Chain A
Amino acid sequence: MIVYGVALLAICTLAGVIIGDFLGVLLGVQSNVGGVGIAMIFLICARLYMHKHGSMSHTTKETELGVSFWGCMYIPIVVAMAAQQNVVTALHGGPVALIGAIGSVLVCGFAITVISRSHKGEPLPAEPIEPLPEKSIELNITAAPVGGR
């Protein structure tokens, strides 16, 4: 049942967010501390458990579908999120806000470059090995003009 996956995702999300709120209260912070991250760890554990017990069964596959649908909806949701940012206020912030933002982005970008170059990780396998529907369409498109010429 696909709804098992959606429910599993919902339970993990709720548990993580509630624990994050609790952590916030315990630390005396008016914010959620790591709720989404905790929820993600729950979900990773749930998947590992499912694969150990009764993997490849029909139920497991459908449960995974229920979760991965929402994972695929992520980018459209981000677009909707971008469409409701307070861009007007951001643009009215003036030079302090602008310079502060540019400065911190540059400094952080530099730090990311230094760290990720000095501690290099294994790159993800190239796209075709793990094809996503969206990506495979793009691949076809880039291939087409070459053939045309």
Chain B
Amino acid sequence: MWDVIKHGLEHNSLVTAFALVGVIMWISAILSKRLTRGRVHGSAIAIVIGLVLAWVGGTLSGGQKGLADLTLFSGIGLMGGAMLRDFAIVATAFEVQATEARKAGMIGAVALLLGTVLPFIVGAAVAWAFGYRDAVSVTTIGAGAVTYIVGPVTGAAIGATSDVVALSIATGLIKAIMVMVFTPAASRLMGLDNPRSAMVFGGLAGTVSGVTAGLAATDRRLVPYGALTATFHTGLGCLLAPSLFFFCVRGLIG
């Protein structure tokens, strides 16, 4: 009996994922209404549930892709993968007011540059404080603080050891998760209620996943503005970290 059901679900993995995510969103909407009286956005709760499920899936399977490593939920991997994610982010641009985006262009670029330099300095300083003294490790961990893609790309480019690369990925992942979870709570403090500040946020907070999930849980209409700058974040990080930043770190600590 269970085998037949399981077979059916596994063979329609993407459809199973749609159903599962729908149920998660429904439960989150109820929790948001009952427990927080709508103060915490349903999407924010759904994202946290997703992260918890990712932890459960990763623990059960020992894999790296959270819930998607369980064959029953492999459709989650397709639904939440880079392909559909990028497709849906681009679609949100349909609601962008071109004039607003253009007005914030310059400040967005400044935010983007700051968003690469500041986390790198913090990450590198923490690595130094914990006893890493070689330029390669310090640069790789600093790059991980930019985004979890910049870390391994930089590590591969300058020849870091695998445990340092893993550490840099972990730094970037925790950062992305923190941005996803805490953005709705800090949105008022950060003045996150207009397209311009969303673009500043996208440039500074980094990682398309963290930024867009955080904004989605704050105000869905701000997502495209944040994504517009965040999308350049990883590219800029991959450009600067293994080159300019590495030379600076090497110059400073030999």
Contacts and interface: CB of A to CB of B under 8 A. Distances in A.
Interface stretch (B3-11, B149-157, B245-253): B149-157
Contacts of A56: none
B133 interface: no
A124 B54 contact: no
Q: Which 7 A-B pairs have the closest CB atoms?
A: A93-B170, A121-B196, A80-B80, A82-B50, A33-B235, A116-B197, A81-B80
A87 B172 CA distance: 11
Interface string B76-99: 110111001111111111111010
A76 to B, nearest CB: 5
Contact of B88 (A74, A86, A102): A74
What is the size category of the interface that chain B forms with chain A?
Answer: 35 or more
Nearest to B168: A97
Given A85-B66, A100-B127, A116-B190, A108 B94 contact: no
12 contacts: A37-B227, A40-B93, A71-B88, A71-B91, A71-B92, A78-B47, A80-B50, A84-B67, A85-B51, A96-B126, A107-B122, A112-B111
Nearest to A71: B91
Interface in A84-107: 84-105, 107
Given A71-B95, A105-B175, A109-B190, 14 more contacts: A13-B86, A30-B238, A31-B150, A32-B234, A40-B90, A43-B91, A68-B95, A76-B18, A86-B64, A97-B144, A105-B179, A108-B118, A113-B189, A122-B100
B166 interface: yes
A68 B224 CA distance: 12
Which of B80, B186, B205, B229: most chain A CB closer than 10 A? B80
Interface in B201-217: 201, 204-206, 208-209, 212-213, 216
Contacts of B190: 109, 112-113, 116
B194 to A, nearest CB: 4
Interface string A113-149: 1011101111110000010101000100110000000
B178 A101 contact: yes
B115 A108 contact: yes
Contacts of B179: 105
A87 B218 CA distance: 22
B200 A80 contact: no
A82 B51 contact: yes
A23 B98 CA distance: 23
B67 A116 contact: no
Nearest to A34: B232
Which of A75, A82, A87, A138: most chain B CB closer than 10 A? A82
A79 B47 contact: yes
A82 B80 contact: yes
B94 to A, nearest CB: 5
Given A30-B153, A37-B228, A43 B180 contact: no
A88 B14 CA distance: 24
Contacts of B182: 105
A44 B98 CA distance: 7
B153 A31 contact: yes
A88 B119 CA distance: 22
Contact of A81 (B73, B98, B209): B209
Nearest to A13: B90
A9 to B, nearest CB: 5
Given A108-B204, A117-B191, A68 B94 contact: yes
B72 interface: no
B15 interface: no
Contacts of B236: 33
